[in-house]
Amino acid sequence: MTDPARPTLRPATPDDEAFLAQVYISTRPDLEALPLPPDQRAALLSFQTRAQEQHYTSHYPGVERLIVELDGVPVGRLYRWQTAAHQFLLDIALLPRTRRAGLGTQLIQEELRRAAALGLPLRLHVEQSNPARRLYARLGFELLDDQDTAGVYVEMEHAPGHG
């Protein structure tokens, strides 16, 4: 068995916007499956993509929007944000052809090393039903105590020196 390729990260540029939209759309099969005419479905997906990007830039000033590459080929995105008290993994998404091959785990482990080097906990939000939640738990993330687990999302944290 060969080792998975090491991913690299680079800042997203305006030239990456179409790729970033492609990555986002690949995570939304629920929207792609809506019984809409193709032009309406495309308009909805475009609107949702712009709305998500606007949310990140308006709620997380200075968000790092990074492109995940394998051998120089874009395969995903990773968005992170830092405050004086926390490092946040805001979004990690890979194109379907690169999922379930250990790449996401490598990226998260690198973010854990980065946060630990800064002496900060790494936090993230995840949908309750997202299978990635099990991965986060295996990597040592724990639910924050003040969770409203009736909501769609939960917040998890990996403290420095944990696991």
Q: What is the pLDDT of residue 154?
A: 87
Local confidence band at 149 (pLDDT 50, 70, 90 cut-offs): low
Q: How many CB atoms lie within 10 A of CB 99?
A: 15
The token pair at 159 is 């403290």
- Averaged pLDDT, 118-130: 90
Q: What is the pLDDT of residue 100?
A: 83
Query: Helix 38-59 and helix 17-26: axis angle, to 10°?
Result: 110
Q: What is the pLDDT of residue 63?
A: 95
- For 35-47, the pLDDT digits (tens) are 888 888 888 888 8
- For 83-121, the pLDDT digits (tens) are 999 999 999 999 989 888 889 899 999 999 999 999 999
* CA–CA distance, 20 with 92 (Å, rounded to integer): 11
Domains parsed from the chain with CATH numbers: 8-158 (3.40.630.30)
* CA–CA distance, 78 with 101 (Å, rounded to integer): 17
Contacts of 10 (CB under 8 A, 6+ apart): 66, 67, 69
Strand segments (E) across 35-128: 64-70, 73-82, 87-94, 122-127
